[in-house]
Structure 1
């Protein structure tokens, strides 16, 4: 069996997810595309998060009207902050959501053989944070609009 643990030597980017069917992510980001923090599950992954590491915002959902997939790319601003016992942690971010026309649909990413094995496809219901390897993040960057 393949080791599914995150190793910093092969961490391309953290991937944090939000369900756009349960929360009005489109409306929230239309008002303010800046993301300054996100909830993550307590554990070894949250403890590995450090300032300067790349982070990708992934919008999940099943309604056909939205471009589910990558909605933004930024960086971790600081280490994750523990919440109350048993509660989620919060990770500070510096991330701006892409405008709708530049969001990268999951179907396009899944069709890219270099990304097809990404954890977000293998375990879509997995808790935050997920991750991309160095090679997967390099492939994703080829799909992003020029800066």
Structure 2
């Protein structure tokens, strides 16, 4: 079995997910495309999050309803912080959601052999944060409007 622990030496970007079926992400981001924080699960990954690290926002949900996939990119602005006892942690971000025509669809990314093994494809129900390796993040940038 392959060790799936995240190592800072091969961390390209964090990936945080939001389910657009349970929350109207499209309306939220139409009103305000800047994201200043996101919930993450307590654990070693959250403790590895540091200011300056790249972060990608992944919208998930029922196939075909919306163009799910990468909806935004940005940076972590500080360490993840504990919430209420027993509650989720949050990580501060400086992330901008892309205009809808610029979002990168899940199908396009899955078709790229360099990205077909993304953790978000292998374990779509896993808790935040997920991650991309250095090589995967470089491949993703080929699909983003600003490269």
Instruction: Tell me the distance in 2 between the aligned counterparts of 1:63 and 1:143.
Output: 20
- State the partner residue of 1:128: 128
How far apart are the structure 2 equivalents of 1:8 and 1:2? 17
- Provide the C-alpha distance between the structure 1 equivalents of 2:49 and 2:36, rounded to a whole number of angstroms: 15
Shift in Å, 1:63: 4.5
Partner of 1:112: 112
1:19 aligns with 2:19: yes
Query: Which structure 2 residue ranges, 5 or more long, are not aligned?
Result: none
Distance in 1 separating the partners of 2:146 and 2:55: 17
Does structure 1 residue 138 correspond to structure 2 residue 138?
yes
Which secondary structure does the structure 2 equivalent of 1:143 belong to? Answer: coil
The aligned residue for residue 71 of structure 1 is: 71
User: Which residue in the other structure is 1:42 paired with?
Assistant: 42
In 1, Cα distance between equivalents of 2:63 and 2:133: 28
Q: What is the rounded CA distance, in whole Å, between the counterparts of 1:69 and 1:123 in structure 2?
A: 14
Q: Give the RMSD, CA atoms, in angstroms.
A: 0.9
Q: How many residue pairs were aligned?
A: 147
Structure 1 residues not aligned, in runs of 5+ = none
* Alpha carbons 1:57, 1:70 under 8 Å: kept: yes
Confirm or deny that 1:86 pairs with 2:73.
no
What is the match of residue 98 of structure 1?
98
Q: Secondary structure at the match of 2:91?
A: strand
Correspondence for 2:59: 59
**Could you tell me how far 1:113 is from its partner in structure 2?**
0.4
SS at match of 1:45: helix
Segments of 4+ moved more than 3 angstroms: none
Contact 1:21–1:63 (CA<8 Å) still a contact in 2? no
